[in-house]
Amino acid sequence: MKVQFLVIVFAITVCRKAKVCEAVVTVTFEGEFKSCDNGMELFGWDMSKLDILMMDNENITLNGKLEYTAEYKSPMTVKISLMRLLDKEGDSWKEEASRSFPNFCDVIGKEDEMWTNVVALMEKKTCPFPKGHTETFDNANVGNVAETLKVPTDMLGSWKAVIEVGSERDGVNVNECTMAPFLLEDV
């Protein structure tokens, strides 16, 4: 459930920009953030005390704490990819959509982006994010992101969202990655 908000918003954004939306689908997540298949370390975020809740009114609510267990400073590269499973064995994935940011710190405060509502709720809204910094959310309403999500019917099936982040720490470039598998099913 922790990755649900990010992936739903990204999928809605891709759907709108591609203008190829046809079928109404549900999104089912298969657990929490996981390590990527590329060997990169997981993000330096502790989300164990953060709940991302879908309320009855279809609003997303954040409750709890997000702690940075590593420093993130400018420039901070970010790449968000949606990948579709091509075979039943789970060996072959195809990147269907992605967004890359050479320096996410330059766009974190930009309005009308997939992260705008979350950043608006944060105490610290700009880079750097120091190790040990904690963001606290007290039943914070992110808003209704449960708009009807329509995608071409040939896009139904198994997917994963992959998020890669790069930042410099102690003079060394560090790249981290997390992913979340999910299923797009026809309603």
Give domain status of residue 12, yes or no.
no
- When the pLDDT of each residue in the chain is averaged and rounded to a whole number, the result is 81
Residues 6+ apart with CB under 8 A from 39: none
Q: Which of 76, 51, 67, 61 shows the shortest CA–CA distance to 130? A: 67
Q: What is the pLDDT of residues 69-85, one digit of tens each?
A: 999 999 999 999 999 99
Give domain status of residue 4, yes or no.
no
Report the pLDDT averaged over residues 58-65. 84
| 143 Rama class: left (phi>0) / alpha (psi -120 to 50) / beta | left
- What local confidence, expressed as pLDDT, does residue 156 receive? 83
Give domain status of residue 71, yes or no.
yes
Tell me which of 26 and 62 has the higher pLDDT.
62
Give domain status of residue 3, yes or no.
no
Tell me which of 44 and 113 has the higher pLDDT.
44
Q: What is the pLDDT of residues 129-177, one digit of tens each?
A: 999 999 999 999 887 654 545 567 788 888 888 999 999 999 999 999 9
Number of domains in the chain: 1
Output the domain CATH number for residue 123.
2.70.220.10
What's the pTM value of the predicted model, to 2 decimals?
0.76
- What local confidence, expressed as pLDDT, does residue 130 receive? 96
Give domain status of residue 118, yes or no.
yes
Pairing type for strands 59-68 and 172-186 reads unpaired
Q: What is the pLDDT of residues 94-122, one digit of tens each?
A: 999 999 999 999 999 898 887 888 899 99
On the question of pLDDT at 24 being above 50, the answer is yes
Q: Contact 64/51 with Cβ under 8 angstroms?
A: yes
Give domain status of residue 15, yes or no.
no
Q: Contact 59/150 with Cβ under 8 angstroms?
A: no
- What local confidence, expressed as pLDDT, does residue 114 receive? 78
On the question of pLDDT at 36 being above 50, the answer is yes
Its domain, for residue 30, covers 24-186
